[in-house]
Amino acid sequence: MKKLYLVLAALIIASMVLSACGTAPSAEDCASPDVFCVGLVTDVGKINDKSFNQSAWEGVQKAQTDGVADVVQYIETTDAKDYAKNIAQFGDAGYDAIVTVGFALGEATVAAAATYPDIHFIGVDQFQAETTEGVSGLNFPEDNAGFLVGALAAMMSESHKIGAVCGTDVVPPVWRFGEGYKAGAAYADAQNGTTTEVFVVYHSDVGFDKTFTDPEWGAQTAKSMMDQGADAIFGCGGITGNGAITAAAQAGAYAIGVDTDQYLTLPEAAPRMLSSAMKLITPGVAKLIAAVKDGTIESGNVFGDAGYAPFHDLEASVPAEVKTAMETINTGLLDGSIKTDVPPVKP
């Protein structure tokens, strides 16, 4: 029995030690000023997560193929305690730009900027409450993304009732997704002379982190909306939203994802996945890396663009005029001729 414990203990310790090691960057001549090196530190998860990490890494790779970056390298974080350590690996190797992916790395990124004043940091989805020299937070207009899928849902709905299941509206980006969704539906109504009822429900539990990790609540809320006749459901709020998307897809309604193309991340819902309200991370990251190289980068908040994901399996059921209208709206949002009129924070 004692031996068994020993083996168990050894196994557990081994697995912990193994998971703590990251991939070491290849130490080329990054310290020299002629070589432009870009490092990327993921949030907990894999580089091929078909979500934030992967999109950001594709942006870094794009910078390389565009001839901006000479050396690119990534470290996968396996434990939230390793953020600072992983950033330091690139910092000590003399990299020129470091991309950190996800809101959770915000603090570690700001702290690292003080340690490595010669390196420019790009924090994906890290809103900068105050400007730190050397850190650019790459944010996205969530209201535009919500607007696009809101308009799409309103045009595709047969019952003219659509819903959005979101995390807490205390978090400004979540609220902006929801408000953008409403505004988009209203815009489509005005264009097509329809009247669409829009249900937007926020997980309003007082426990803040709970509101994003409650798939069961998301599923129940989506079902309630479908009871009232909604036939398109937008899930905006992490795992809570995923619950809503899965429930909508199971019931045969249109499901709409958030942040990245969730057709790829939620195979359970894929057949009914209409689109996703996307943050265009890849071009945003590539653009900022180029700006770091020619020295035009600004510290503080930088905004990327929003978009909508392809229709995938439902390509054939989306009418041509809806596709044209979506392209018109997207162009309008990008050039500023269409505005969502959603304030940055809830009034």
Residues that bind other proteins (CB under 8 A): 15, 18-19, 44-46, 48-49, 78, 168-170, 197, 199-207, 210, 213-221, 223-225, 227-228, 239, 242-243, 246-247, 250, 267-268
Measured N-to-C along each axis, helices 172-192 and 142-156 cross at an angle, to the nearest 10 degrees, of 40
State in angstroms the smallest separation of the CB of 195 from other proteins: 12
**Of 37, 40, 32, nearest to 95 (Cα)?**
37
State in angstroms the smallest separation of the CB of 303 from other proteins: 27
Residue 211 to residue 240: CA distance in whole angstroms:
7
Closest to other proteins by CB, 37 vs 183, is 183
Closest to other proteins by CB, 23 vs 331, is 23
State in angstroms the smallest separation of the CB of 2 from other proteins: 19
Closest to other proteins by CB, 43 vs 96, is 43
Radius of gyration of the chain (CA): 22
State in angstroms the smallest separation of the CB of 131 from other proteins: 31
Closest to other proteins by CB, 19 vs 32, is 19
- 152 near 322, Cβ under 8 Å? yes
CA 291 from chain centre, in angstroms, equals: 22
What the block records as the tokens of 221 is 């809320």
Residue 275 to residue 155: CA distance in whole angstroms:
13
**Of 199, 192, 186, 137, nearest to 341 (Cα)?**
186
Closest to other proteins by CB, 96 vs 214, is 214
Report residue 233: phi and psi, to 5°. Answer: -125, 125
State in angstroms the smallest separation of the CB of 66 from other proteins: 28
Closest to other proteins by CB, 216 vs 327, is 216
Q: Which residue has the tokens 């960057």?
A: 25
State in angstroms the smallest separation of the CB of 223 from other proteins: 7
What the block records as the tokens of 69 is 């970056």
State in angstroms the smallest separation of the CB of 220 from other proteins: 6
What single DSSP character describes residue 342?
-
- 61 near 52, Cβ under 8 Å? no
- In the chain, DSSP finds a helix count (H) and a strand count (E) of 10, 12
Closest to other proteins by CB, 209 vs 327, is 209
